Amino acid sequence: MPDSDDNYVYDEESGEWMPAAELAERRNAASRPEVRDAVGNLLADGDQVTLIKDLDVKGAGQTLKRGTLIKSIRLTGDAQEIDCKFDGIKGLVLRAEFVRKR
């Protein structure tokens, strides 16, 4: 039986006792939508992506050219949007259909 110091819960799906924090993390991961790039690769936080199309950035008066490398993306919880950092553009959000995982 598990240690009495930790909170353990019974997971009905696996039929095992596990730490409550681990079970909560598994359920959180299962509830997040999968985000895929233009060619179907699964994206994750921290990935690098390349633009596959020239994109006009609204409000910035700038165009991001095809082939531009975007480093360290973050998933937003939406299956089609990713949050990015790029020099000179704050709060850049790109559609996953316009990027390819590097």
What are the structure tokens assigned to 70, written together?
A: 């975007």
Each residue's pLDDT expressed in tens, for the chain with a length of 102 residues: 444 556 898 888 888 898 988 888 877 776 678 899 999 999 999 999 999 999 999 888 889 999 999 999 999 888 899 999 988 888 899 999 999 999
The 3-state DSSP class for residue 21 equals helix
The confidence score (pLDDT) of residue 100 equals 97
Classified by CATH at the fold level, domain 49-101 comes out as SH3 type barrels. (2.30.30)
Question: What integer best gives the mean pLDDT of the chain?
Answer: 88
State pLDDT tens for residues 61-84.
Answer: 889 999 999 999 999 888 899 999
pLDDT of residue 5: 56
The structure tokens listed for 80 are 């089609």
Domain ranges across the chain: 1-31, 49-101
